[in-house]
Amino acid sequence: MNLTEPQHPLLAIVRGTDADAALKTVLTLADEDITAIEVSLTTANALKVIERARDALGAHVLLGAGTVITPDDAARAADAGAGFLVTPGLLDAPLPDLPVVMGAFTPTEIITARDRGARAVKLFPSSLSGPGYLRALRQPFPDVPFVPVGGIDLADARAYLAAGALAVGVGSPLIGDAADGGDLDALRLRARTWHCALTDEVTR
């Protein structure tokens, strides 16, 4: 499976205070056919969550580590079984041989991210711009895979995909309190709603 394939329009971002709940959240998302999942390294015992999720899910789910800030973060995430890395901003350091979704916002940062080997650009924080900004960026950067992240609800997500985003990264509007020990049944319902809506968007 390829991080930049369009059949993964939703990148679920799991961030929580309870490691067991975070693992259950990842497994629940995968069970509901959400197959691109990022576990933020700010999650309690995040590396163990990634390791256990990878053992449980095998290779059919794209499982990555987010909030990667240092080379040590990247190396430890790779050792835990992360299949890709997501950074909140530009990272200029030797990284493991994994796809990197690098955070950027301005055109200069986007150029820098690509020069540093980013497989895709995390447009962050997208709440400061909106789909119109992405549409404008697609003019000078038609070949850059963009993944907007930050404050995206379902209506925003569909608008970003229509504007040319490869995928959208979504945290709390999708995850809710599940990764803190909250309601997994409610998570299932949200996951089904998001999956159906965004799959429909990219197949139009």
Q: For residues 61 and 30, is the Cβ–Cβ distance under 8 A?
A: yes
Q: Does this model's pTM top 0.85? A: yes
Q: Domain 10-202 - what CATH class?
A: alpha beta
Angstrom distance (rounded) from CA 41 to CA 74: 10
Q: How far is CA 10 from the centre of its chain?
A: 7
- 3-class state of residue 143 by DSSP: coil
Q: Which of 38, 51, 109, 201 is catalytic?
A: 38
Q: Where are the alpha helices (DSSP H) in the chain?
A: 19-31, 46-57, 71-80, 107-115, 131-137, 154-162, 172-175, 184-202
Q: For residues 144 and 165, is the Cβ–Cβ distance under 8 A?
A: no
Q: Where are the alpha helices (DSSP H) in 64-106?
A: 71-80
Active site (annotated) includes residue 201: no
**The dihedral of CA 190, 144, 103, 107: what is its sign?**
negative
Pairing of strands 100-104, 120-123: parallel
Q: Report which of 189, 167, 166, 168 is spatially closest to residue 178, judged by C-alpha positions.
A: 189
Phi, psi values for residue 45, rounded to 5°: 50, 45
Strand partners, 12: 37, 170
Which sequence spans correspond to the domains of the chain? 10-202
Active site (annotated) includes residue 122: yes
| pLDDT tens series, the chain, 204 aa | 466 666 789 999 999 999 999 999 999 999 999 999 999 999 999 999 999 999 999 888 999 999 999 999 999 999 999 999 999 999 987 778 899 999 999 999 999 999 999 999 999 999 999 999 999 999 999 999 999 999 999 999 999 999 999 999 999 999 999 999 999 999 999 999 999 999 866 655
Pairing of strands 85-86, 168-170: unpaired
Q: What is the DSSP letter of 76?
A: H
Q: Which of 24, 51, 122, 201 is catalytic?
A: 122
